[in-house]
């Protein structure tokens, strides 16, 4: 029976495994291979002229790749921590008012179920320099009108607008996950804290955060990966130009796609692959780093 089960099990797995080998494992391996090809031109001559490391040196020294690294890192390192802290606070606030929790939770979840490009375009209208809502709002506080996403916008304003949109877009999922994590915390801890007359901030720091720490780690790793591959948000807010001035807000993924799209040019596909592999290694590095750093501080 054991033996019979063996081949039968593989039969059940076959549809999934075949798809995964063709569309995930082979492409992962092949991306590394392509990134070392010399003068590769995929659809015309399927063969490379040899093996080289220059694709990487080209990409790493490329002006737009450096810009993409800077944009992606700033976006990830600001928006991920901010959205985690904000969503934790919101989840805790939600948990303190159980009666109306479901209502707020539904409203806060809306950004998750909407088309990112459609909402990004709405944000673009809001950030419009001349008649946008955002400048009108700042005007109430006596702040003059700035260009946030147009051709005269500074880098700082563009990335601020992009971060506001990114945070808005990413809160929904985190609030939901943290809120359901909170309901799983044993009430005894809070009762004990009450007896000790612990303040709310102490309870938050000493009970809520430590007990949620495995979830916080998981969320910070997945949202870090998500933030490092930012692309749709840039398209939504800025369009194909990728910025107020073309490519001001280029990201690593946008860089990959730009070179991929020009596959007719010799070697461009390999540049795209080298950039994609670089992104993969960066992601791997941060996931590992987060896991190692937090291992000491996580309470399971």
Partner 1 sequence: MAEVFVKNEKSYKTKKILFTIGVYVFLGLVTISVLIPFYWMIITSLKTQTMIEQVPPIIFLKPNDWQINNYRMLFELVASGPRRGEPLFPFFTYMGNTILVSVITTIGTTITTILAAYAFARLTFKGRDIVFAILLSTMMIPGEIFILTNFLTVYKLGWYDIFNQTYSDAILAMTIPFMTSVFYTFYLRQTFKQIPNELYFAAKVDGTTDFQYLWKIMVPVAMPTIVTIVILNSMGAWNAYIWPQMVTAKDSYRLVSNGLRGAFTDTSTGRTDFGQQMAAAVLVTVPLLIVFFTFRKQIMRGVSRSGIKG
By C-beta, is 153 or 176 nearer to partner 1?
Answer: 176
Question: Taking contact as CB under 8 A, which single stretch among the options 53-61, 63-71, 206-214, 256-264 is the one that binds partner 1?
Answer: 256-264
By C-beta, is 51 or 113 nearer to partner 1?
Answer: 113
Contact 224, 80 (CB under 8 A): yes
Residue ranges in 6-65 that form contacts with partner 1 under rule CB under 8 A: 6, 8-10, 12-13, 15-17, 19-20, 22-28, 30-31, 34, 42-43
Q: How far apart are CA 174 and CA 269, in angstroms?
A: 36
By C-beta, is 119 or 159 nearer to partner 1?
Answer: 119
Tell me which residue of 250, 209, 203, 264 sits closest to 84, measured CA to CA. 209
Near partner 1 by CB under 8 A: residue from 39, 53, 60, 93: 93
Q: Beta-strand (E) ranges in 70-221?
A: none
By C-beta, is 97 or 143 nearer to partner 1?
Answer: 97
Contact 214, 300 (CB under 8 A): yes
Q: Is the dihedral of CA 98, 104, 110, 111 positive or negative?
A: negative
Question: Taking contact as CB under 8 A, which single stretch among the options 58-66, 108-116, 153-161, 292-300 is the one that binds partner 1?
Answer: 108-116
Residues 6+ apart with CB under 8 A from 242: 234, 235, 248, 249, 250, 251, 254
Q: Does 201 bind partner 1 (CB under 8 A)?
A: no
- Nearest distance from C-beta of residue 90 to partner 1, angstroms: 6
**Structure tokens belonging to residue 215:** 């979830």
Near partner 1 by CB under 8 A: residue from 54, 57, 106, 152: 106
By C-beta, is 67 or 276 nearer to partner 1?
Answer: 276
Contact 231, 254 (CB under 8 A): yes
H/E element holding 5? helix 2-20
From residue 162 to residue 181, what is the string marking binding to partner 1 with x (rule CB under 8 A)? Answer: ------x--x-x--xx-xx-
Near partner 1 by CB under 8 A: residue from 67, 75, 132, 148: 132
- Residues near partner 1 (CB under 8 A), total: 100
Q: How far apart are CA 36 and CA 30, in angstroms?
A: 10
By C-beta, is 148 or 173 nearer to partner 1?
Answer: 173
Question: Taking contact as CB under 8 A, which single stretch among the options 47-55, 61-69, 71-79, 227-235 is the one that binds partner 1?
Answer: 227-235
Contact 114, 95 (CB under 8 A): no
């Amino acid at each position: 029976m054991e033996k019979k089960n063996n081949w039968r099990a593989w039969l059940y797995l076959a549809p999934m495994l075949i798809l995964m080998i063709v569309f995930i494992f082979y492409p992962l391996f092949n991306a590394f291979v392509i990134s070392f090809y010399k003068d590769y031109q995929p659809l015309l001559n399927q063969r490379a002229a040899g093996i080289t490391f220059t694709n990487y040196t080209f990409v790493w020294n490329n002006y737009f790749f450096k810009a993409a690294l800077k944009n992606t890192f700033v976006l990830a390192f600001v928006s991920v921590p901010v959205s985690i802290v904000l969503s934790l606070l919101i989840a805790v606030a939600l948990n303190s008012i159980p009666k109306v929790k479901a209502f707020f939770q539904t409203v806060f979840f809306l950004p998750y179920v909407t088309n990112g490009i459609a909402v990004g375009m709405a944000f673009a209208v809001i950030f419009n320099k001349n008649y946008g809502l955002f400048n009108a709002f700042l005007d109430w506080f006596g702040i003059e009108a700035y260009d946030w996403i147009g051709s005269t916008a500074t880098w700082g304003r563009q990335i601020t607008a992009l971060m506001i949109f990114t945070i808005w877009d990413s809160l929904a999922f985190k609030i939901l996950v943290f809120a359901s994590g909170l309901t799983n915390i044993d009430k005894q801890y809070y009762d004990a804290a009450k007896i000790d007359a612990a303040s709310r901030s102490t309870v938050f720091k000493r009970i809520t955060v430590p007990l949620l720490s495995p979830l916080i780690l998981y969320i910070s790793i997945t949202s870090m990966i998500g933030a490092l591959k930012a692309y749709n948000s840039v398209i939504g807010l800025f369009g194909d130009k990728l910025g107020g001035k073309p490519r001001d807000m280029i990201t690593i993924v946008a860089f990959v796609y730009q070179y991929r799209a020009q596959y007719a040019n010799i070697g461009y596909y390999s540049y795209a692959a080298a950039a994609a592999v670089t992104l993969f290694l960066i992601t791997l590095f941060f996931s590992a780093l987060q896991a190692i750093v937090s291992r000491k501080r996580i309470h399971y």
